Structures are given as C-alpha cells and as structure tokens.
C-alpha cells in the first residue's frame, strides 16, 4: 500500500512526544519560501481541509528566515515572544501562542518551553506575497527540527518534510505547499493516490524544463492591508451559490494543468492559469457580502498583457492572489522582451514603480546557526 496515502491525521497525535526530563536551552532556524498558486485554494472545511486541490510555484527570492530559541518554561507555563524584522510584534506573538496550543496534541512538549522567535521577511508585508506561507512553513520546520533533535523522529527526509507540511497547513493552508521546491500541490487530486488533503506533494517529476525557468515579476498596485482577510473569504464560500461548480472546476483544471506542465503546452498553461486567477476574484464578487480586491490599475495591466501577448505571441500571462497585485509569469527565455514591456507599459500602473523580481525556487534551507 502507498505509504503516503496510508498515514492518517491521527498518526501525528503522539503522546510519546512528552519529554521525560527537561529539554535544555537551544535554538534552530530555517529559511522557507513563499509560493504563488496557479490553481487556487479558496474554500475550506474543518480543520484546514481544502474544498479543492491547489498547485503552486515555489518562489525563490521571497522567503522568511525564522530562528526559534527555546528554554525550559520558567513559570511552568509556556510563553512566546515574537520579533518580526527585529521589532517585537505582540499580535503575531499571540497568534503563534494560539497556534502552539492548537497543535499540543501533536507536540505535547511545546507547553514545557518558553520561546523567543525572530522572523525576517525578504519582502514587504502585505505586498501581495503570502507571508503566512513562508512564515508558517519556516516555523513548522523549526518545530520538526526540535522533535528530530530530542526524539529522533520524524525518521527520514520524506517523513520530516511531510510532517512539516502537515503542521504548516494547520497554521495557514497555502503554507502546506511551501515545503518543497518547484511545483507543489496540496489537496486530494482525482486519480492521484499520492496526493492528500493533509499535506503538500511535490509535482516536479517529468515536469517540462521550461517551467523550472519560470519567472514571476510581482507588480505592486497597492501594498495596503486587504479589506477582507483570506479567512473571511474562505468562509464566504460556504454560502456562495457557485461554490460546488467552482470546486469541480478546480479538480478538472488541476488534472489538466499537471498534464500540460509535463508536455510544455504554454498556450493551455496560460489559459488555465489566467482563468483560475479570474475565477478566484469572481468568487469574491459573487459572495455575500460581495467585495472587490482588484483595483482599476489591476484591470489596466491585465488588458495590456492581453494586448502584448496578442501582438507579439510572447508567452507571458498573469495570476492574482487574494489582492490587487499582478504576478506576471513567463519563461526565462523571454525575460528581456518582458522586461521592456514592463518598463514601457506596465510600470505606470504600479505604486511607486514597485516591481519585485522573483522566479521558481528550490525550497526551504536549514540555517547554519
């Protein structure tokens, strides 16, 4: 029987991970990337189970570095102090404390420790890059490293990253995909027994080489905090009248996209990717209450991309996250042409001429402390 598919959620509820004695003082750190979804996760069930599978490119330049310092809890009760980019952040500290409590059945040793956590992002907060994906995956990797050090598990590399993905998912769904490089799916895909709703699965086997060269130029239209959080947006799918059709469409799209990404058909790749981006925003517009996250500049840029592609035949397309900023996706070989296009036509619609240059990356790296 397939090992990945046979592991159930309860496997990780492990009372064996109660440390007999005292875990001493120590520290551990990981660098972990953000990702950009091609087929979007939008709508979830308890606990962080997606209503449809998703797939994303792992990014290279947009990542979080997290160092977790731990020591025996001095008051007998665990505490968390959290620094974001060198500044203490009580709001995130509370969120992480709540996250640690929510995974106590997986890691009973967490309540034996005090934590000081230092996290830095290479990209600005709320720039349309998922900081929860990189941040939660980096933190989950640190927890797995603590387990490995004091309990000897998870045993192999596969088990280690799978458990980290499982834990990252419980913090932020899309974070489940940040544990591997290249192309990564999360959620059960029809006809693919190796995939799971509980953790991400790398999809790099037989991937057409053009996709490992893909670039993502992130055009910042508006860097303000979004008006409606993803948590609220996922929740609104429960009453969206188009939800069931959307979940079915995502299954069809992901099966076709994974095929297309093996055979290198860029025309189909562009069609599915752009349709997914617009469908995500269509779901927001057809929720109740309805809302819009795109800005007039977002539409201006999209129109220009359509025009440029039509007149030049250059395979460049867009995707959107839950926000107004454009992720411009294209193969490395057309970089010079797309660079001139951004300068000449797109930059005028960005906020303070901000374009973040990224590309497909190779996944997390353990920090040498």
Interface ranges with ligand PMV (CB under 6 A): 37, 40-42, 54, 130, 132, 172-174, 230, 280, 321-322
Q: Which is nearer to ligand PMV, 132 or 325 (CB)?
A: 132
The span from the CA of 91 to the CA of 24, in Å, is: 27
The span from the CA of 212 to the CA of 161, in Å, is: 21
Phi, psi of 25 (to 5 degrees): -70, 145
Q: Which is nearer to ligand PMV, 112 or 185 (CB)?
A: 185
The span from the CA of 32 to the CA of 331, in Å, is: 23
Q: Which is nearer to ligand PMV, 43 or 154 (CB)?
A: 43
Pairing, β 80-84 against β 113-121: parallel
Minimum CB–partner distance for residue 238 and ligand PMV (Å): 14
Minimum CB–partner distance for residue 234 and ligand PMV (Å): 6
Q: Which is nearer to ligand PMV, 41 or 330 (CB)?
A: 41
Using alpha carbons only, give the angle 226, 227, 233 rounded to the nearest 5 degrees.
Answer: 90
Q: Which is nearer to ligand PMV, 134 or 350 (CB)?
A: 134
Minimum CB–partner distance for residue 229 and ligand PMV (Å): 8
> Which residues neighbour 10 within 8 Å (Cβ) at sequence distance 6 or greater?
none
SS3 62: strand
The span from the CA of 11 to the CA of 65, in Å, is: 29
Minimum CB–partner distance for residue 173 and ligand PMV (Å): 4
Q: Which is nearer to ligand PMV, 39 or 144 (CB)?
A: 39
For residues 131 and 137, the answer to whether their CB atoms sit within 8 Å is no
Rg (CA), the chain: 21
Minimum CB–partner distance for residue 69 and ligand PMV (Å): 27
Q: Which is nearer to ligand PMV, 146 or 170 (CB)?
A: 170
Looking at the DSSP assignment, which residues form a beta bridge with residue 71?
114
Phi, psi of 235 (to 5 degrees): -60, -35
SS3 287: coil
Looking at the DSSP assignment, which residues form a beta bridge with residue 56?
37, 184
Q: Which is nearer to ligand PMV, 40 or 163 (CB)?
A: 40
Minimum CB–partner distance for residue 44 and ligand PMV (Å): 7
Minimum CB–partner distance for residue 1 and ligand PMV (Å): 29
The span from the CA of 224 to the CA of 240, in Å, is: 26
The span from the CA of 281 to the CA of 294, in Å, is: 8
For residues 124 and 223, the answer to whether their CB atoms sit within 8 Å is yes
Q: Which is nearer to ligand PMV, 29 or 173 (CB)?
A: 173
Minimum CB–partner distance for residue 304 and ligand PMV (Å): 23
DSSP run (H or E) holding 59 = strand 54-72
Minimum CB–partner distance for residue 136 and ligand PMV (Å): 8
Looking at the DSSP assignment, which residues form a beta bridge with residue 118?
67, 83
């Amino acid at each position: 029987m397939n090992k990945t598919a046979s592991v159930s959620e309860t496997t990780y509820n492990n009372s064996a991970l109660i440390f007999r004695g005292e875990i001493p003082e120590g520290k551990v750190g990981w660098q972990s990337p953000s990702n950009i979804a091609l087929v979007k996760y939008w709508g979830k069930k308890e606990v962080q189970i997606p209503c449809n599978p998703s797939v994303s490119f792992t990014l290279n330049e947009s990542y979080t570095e997290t160092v977790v310092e731990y020591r025996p809890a001095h008051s007998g009760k665990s505490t968390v102090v959290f620094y974001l980019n060198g500044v203490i952040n009580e709001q995130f500290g509370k969120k992480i404390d709540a996250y640690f409590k929510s995974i106590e059945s997986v890691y009973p040793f967490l309540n034996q420790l005090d934590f000081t956590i230092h996290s830095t992002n290479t990209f600005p907060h709320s720039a349309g890059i998922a900081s929860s994906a990189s941040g939660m995956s980096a933190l989950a990797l640190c927890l797995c490293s603590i387990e490995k050090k004091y309990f000897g598990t998870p045993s192999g590399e596969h088990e280690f990253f799978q458990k980290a993905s499982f834990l990252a998912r419980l913090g932020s769904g899309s974070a489940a995909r940040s544990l591997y490089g290249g192309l990564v799916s999360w959620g059960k895909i029809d006809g693919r027994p190796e995939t799971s709703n509980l953790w991400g699965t790398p999809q790099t086997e037989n991937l057409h080489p053009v996709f490992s060269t893909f670039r993502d130029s992130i055009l910042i239209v508006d860097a303000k905090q979004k008006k409606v959080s993803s948590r609220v947006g996922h929740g609104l799918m429960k009453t969206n009248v188009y939800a069931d059709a959307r979940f079915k469409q995502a299954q069809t799209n992901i099966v076709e996209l994974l095929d297309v990404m093996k055979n290198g058909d860029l025309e189909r790749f562009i069609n599915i990717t752009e349709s997914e981006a617009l469908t995500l925003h269509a779901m927001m517009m057809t929720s109740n209450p309805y809302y819009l996250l795109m800005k007039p500049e977002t539409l201006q840029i999209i129109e220009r991309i359509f025009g440029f592609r039509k007149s030049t035949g250059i395979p460049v397309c867009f995707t959107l996250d839950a926000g107004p900023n454009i992720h411009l996706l294209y193969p490395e070989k057309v970089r010079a042409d797309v660079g001139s296009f951004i300068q000449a036509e797109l930059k005028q619609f960005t906020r303070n001429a901000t374009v973040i240059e990224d590309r497909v990356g190779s996944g997390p790296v353990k920090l040498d402390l």
